[in-house]
Structure 1
């Protein structure tokens, strides 16, 4: 009975839709905080953030919860759409939906489908490369202060010193020989996958950068429409619609539905046109 209610009950589907949707809103805020380092931080800060997000055990657990939530949210939305259509197989003789509902509420399935396509392509372009592809390591300028001698470099990866012998073992790439005059500047890979370089190159590409930037901005507009209805309806589904909280919920809804997507959209625009 419980299993049947979980899979078939329209009310249960709405609860799951609301809970997964609100969790994904929290994910968006956290993801935005990290991505804003592409504007306000430097390459090292962004690459450290990317490394943390792919290696920290707690974050890994949250990542799997996020993947499951996206799939559950998408499947649940499809099932609800089908169920609603079956419940009303014949349209009204006079259909004036625009007068009774918003554009977003009438097109949540379409908006959600477009977002799912964006998520898949976005993960293919960035997430998959970070996890599975050979990527360039971030390089830093190092000044050799000693007299002519073998290079001894003490950089840090997550606060841990790198053994200079890593140069000989091939764990660090040095440009040139291992002997340098005093005062020589040298580029040394410091161990971080350079996702910053990959991201900037993606949006600055001469052939596809503008298209990618426009597509990303359009996706954020779609996200804004989806959230403008979804965030508020999630609280209604959960029964949190007390008039005393209306002002607070409206304020949070504005931030989630408009400010967050707008800030996401600014990032590729900044990279392509300003950076």
Structure 2
């Protein structure tokens, strides 16, 4: 296994891990967005609370969630290591090695380390505010058709009535958008999925995804704040 550990700690291995975990997190964001969109229903939080109940009790989802936590941590660690390596050896910087199919002079590509750090801090705050409270069993319970669930909706709704948190959330979504603008394309680039026929499509899909998904996430707290 020494060759495997050597590969994973090499520059190429780290980039591969970053790409694979990045694509996994990109898929997760869509699933998470679908769940968050339940907040927009005018039903007192029933759909959102039932969704949260399903996501925290289904064994397959629970297993996937552990992979998600590991993916986030691994993505962050490898990203910081690459960032530090690039800073210490500018001549081997990743932006120099990739082809012109990725805009290596963009703001996002030059600041991936800082953007990723802000996102990681946001994730920690996000988990503390919502996920940890539910896991600790401190939320009040509500019942829908004899099904008792945690009232996570109440906690989220209260958070989204705080204008400072709403602004912070929206800013973090902008940061995520910039991170995705470079990260989406880079993931495919690193995996060698480049072709003159498909690369333009990947770039287009990546840009649309990097705008639409964070924008949808940002819309939810703004809408709930204005409705409150």
Alignment gaps of 5+ in structure 1: 90-98, 141-154, 158-190
Matched, 1:121 2:125: yes
Displacement of 1:254: 2.4
Matched, 1:2 2:6: no
Q: Choose between structure 1 and 2: higher helix proportion.
A: 2
Alignment equivalent of 2:154, drawn from 197, 209, 222: 197
Counterpart of 1:138 in 2: which secondary structure?
Answer: strand
Q: Choose between structure 1 and 2: higher strand proportion.
A: 1
Query: Mean alpha-carbon deviation: is it higher for 120-129 or for 245-254?
Result: 245-254
- CA–CA distance in structure 2, aligned partners of residues 17 and 200 of structure 1: 34
- TM-score normalised by the chain length of structure 1: 0.74
Alignment equivalent of 2:135, drawn from 102, 122, 131: 131
| Matched residue, 1:182 | none
- CA–CA distance in structure 2, aligned partners of residues 53 and 100 of structure 1: 38
- CA–CA distance in structure 2, aligned partners of residues 246 and 156 of structure 1: 51
| Matched residue, 1:163 | none
Give the conservation status (yes or no) of the 8 Å contact 2:16–2:191.
yes
| Matched residue, 1:172 | none
Task: Write the mapping of 1:1-275 to structure 2, written as runs, cut at 5 A.
Answer: 1-40=2-41, 42=43, 43-88=45-90, 101-138=105-142, 155-157=145-147, 191-204=148-161, 209-275=162-228
* Residues 5, 41 of structure 1: alpha-carbon distance in 2 compared, 3 angstrom cutoff: farther
| Matched residue, 2:96 | none
Query: Cα RMSD between the aligned structures?
Result: 1.7
Give the conservation status (yes or no) of the 8 Å contact 1:25–1:256.
no
Displacement of 1:271: 0.8
Displacement of 1:247: 3.8
- Count of residues in correspondence between the two structures: 215
Counterpart of 2:188 in 1: which secondary structure?
Answer: helix
Alignment gaps of 5+ in structure 2: 92-102
Give the conservation status (yes or no) of the 8 Å contact 1:17–1:77.
yes
Displacement of 1:41: 5.8
Displacement of 1:56: 0.6
Displacement of 1:203: 1.4
Displacement of 1:4: 4.2
- TM-score normalised by the chain length of structure 2: 0.89
